[in-house]
Amino acid sequence: MSREPGVSRVERVFRNARAAAGGPLADLAVGGGRFLAVTPAAGAPAGPPGDAGHPPIEEVNLEGRVVLPGFIESHIHLDKAFLEERRPNLSGTLRDAIAITLELKRAVTKEDIRQRSERALRLLLRHGTTRARLQVEVDPIVRLRGMEAALELREAWRGRFGLQLVVFPQEGIEQQPGTEGLMREAMRMGGDAVGGVPYNDTDPERHLDIVFKLAGESGKGVDLHLDFTDDPGDRRIESVCRRTLAAGLQGRVAVGHLTSLGAMDEGTIARIAGLIAEAGIHVLPLPATDLFLCGRGPVPPRHRSLTPVKALLRAGANVSIASNNIRNAFTPSGRGDLCSPPTPPRCWGWRIATASPPARTPTSPSSTPRTTTTSSSTSPRSAGSSRPGGSSWRICGRRGGGRGCRGVSPYAPEKNTRKGNPPPRQAVGSGRAWAISPGVMART
């Protein structure tokens, strides 16, 4: 392995890594906070004895484990994390989830929000996630406490974890007077996108008017909770597509849930999926929440209360799977693991990495290869970035010494990171191990 003059000295070598399904073993050399080179196994330089000026190279044997770009959590509510410990949602309905959260938020403080958020961030990092887009609630009840806590977190975790902040009006805008002004202030404070939830307001179209207006004023994108029902008649997504094109926001609008699309007939799904792709809208399935809260009517739906991911992918839309919540009234389970989180009791056997890609049919060998992609390579686009995990896909030499983040899975075949139930991993950022779990990596 050769390096150009001025390139950092190798400080650490991860040996016997596997970067692709069925691919050969490789060694990854790290120095100066960057992945400097990838060579065939045993091709990276061995660790010298070291001296006062040059400490010995550390070597870590991955024993054939898969190395992936750091996952990106493209939709999560850290300010509501772990509220299930205070009051669970026993009915499992969206209506009660909103009501319970509204009641609990009256008593939260900025310190409380920050403590629970950091607890969740540690879980995410432990399981290989290195960037996240946070939905931060802003309204006359919690006011700007969540935003203040999120801004402090973003600064405190800088260099370990990248955070984007969506200014989110959970209680609606017009049905909570004063919310619009608070959202405008939150965007000035450092919001990265304008959030919205039109189904929880007095007039959904007026709600969208305000959201897109704020996006225009701030020069930011839009991130919506949308069409979260089993009713095929809920098609607010068509209005969002039109507004996105009219505002010139292609590629800068994301929608979460979109479960009603999965209840429509195949022809309608294909037509709307085409509109979504044309508008460059990113779709974020939130299966742990969607499967828990939907399908609660007197007659079970014939579909799985999930957006039709395969149809969206066929149309050319970008799709990124996300957790949404960790242990609250909307999602009573979760451990911050995008590969294999526990799912609600109603849906045992489903996991975030396997529930969404097939959407309307059971997981098959032909569909599972998409799942790691939805956690790493497609998520950056949803979060407004072109680089997965804060680093380049090209991690060797001058073409992109990848700063940032790699997650290590314990399985040699890449497909087993989705089909199995892997134990916790090690997360590596800027060449350092930020989160280490016992039994995953053997040091030599």
Closest by alpha carbon to 128, among 393, 443, 442, 440?
440
pTM (2 decimals)?
A: 0.78
Rounded CA separation 183/212 (Å): 12
- Asked if the model's pLDDT at residue 42 lies above 80, the reply is no
Q: Where are the domains of the chain?
A: 12-69+391-443, 71-382
Amino acid 71: pLDDT: 87
The class (CATH top level) of 12-69+391-443 is mainly beta
166: DSSP letter: E
Closest by alpha carbon to 276, among 308, 299, 303?
308
- Asked if the model's pLDDT at residue 153 lies above 90, the reply is yes
Could you tell me the pLDDT band of residue 29, with boundaries at 50, 70 and 90? confident
- Asked if the model's pLDDT at residue 204 lies above 60, the reply is yes
In CATH, the architecture of 71-382 is Alpha-Beta Barrel (3.20)
Amino acid 398: pLDDT: 22
Residues 6+ apart with CB under 8 A from 139: 169, 170, 171, 176, 178, 179, 182
Closest by alpha carbon to 181, among 132, 217, 150?
217
- Asked if the model's pLDDT at residue 299 lies above 60, the reply is yes
